[in-house]
Structure 1
Amino acid sequence: MADKMLKIELKKSLIGRGAKQIATAEALGLKKPGDVTVQPDNAATQGKIAKIGFLLSVTEA
């Protein structure tokens, strides 16, 4: 596996967030606090993390 992978966990609730922030979280596969997903470390994923980074915990997988 040549590409790096990122382990992304939703730390805060999506209640009261804007529709775009909720859609970004769901695009990452996160729906409720505690959900974890593994995504490739690429420009698209980095952009999503930049939009809702304050809701997430990101580590290398």
Structure 2
Amino acid sequence: MNEIITYSQVKSYIGSPKAIRATLIGLGLTKMHKTITKKNTPELRGMLAKVQHLVKVEE
């Protein structure tokens, strides 16, 4: 497994439940096409799995 993971928001959260919006904010994704690079952890992977329909993940 890679040490670093890069992800970006590719779809808007408008119309999504509050839990999905909170997860995106927790991931640091506040705007469309914003790219974040973080250490790959199980907690981060779980959050990304919850919003997989809104983000693009690159390892």
TM-score by length of 2: 0.90
Q: Tell me how far apart the structure 1 counterparts of residues 50 and 17 of structure 2 sit (CA, whole Å).
A: 11
Q: Tell me how far apart the structure 1 counterparts of residues 39 and 9 of structure 2 sit (CA, whole Å).
A: 16
Displacement of 1:33 in angstroms is 1.2
Runs of 4+ in 1 over 3 A off after TM superposition: none
Q: Tell me how far apart the structure 2 counterparts of residues 29 and 47 of structure 1 sit (CA, whole Å).
A: 15
How many percent of aligned residue pairs carry the same amino acid? 28
Q: Tell me how far apart the structure 2 counterparts of residues 54 and 39 of structure 1 sit (CA, whole Å).
A: 19
Number of corresponding residues:
58
SS across alignment from 1:38: strand
Displacement of 1:53 in angstroms is 0.6
Q: 1:21 maps to what in 2?
A: 20
Q: Tell me how far apart the structure 2 counterparts of residues 45 and 11 of structure 1 sit (CA, whole Å).
A: 18
Q: 2:46 maps to what in 1?
A: 47
TM-score by length of 1: 0.87
Code of the residue aligned with 1:59 in structure 2: it is E
Query: Where in structure 1 are there 5+ consecutive unaligned residues?
Result: none
Displacement of 1:24 in angstroms is 0.3
Query: Where in structure 2 are there 5+ consecutive unaligned residues?
Result: none
Q: 2:35 maps to what in 1?
A: 36
Q: 2:6 maps to what in 1?
A: 7
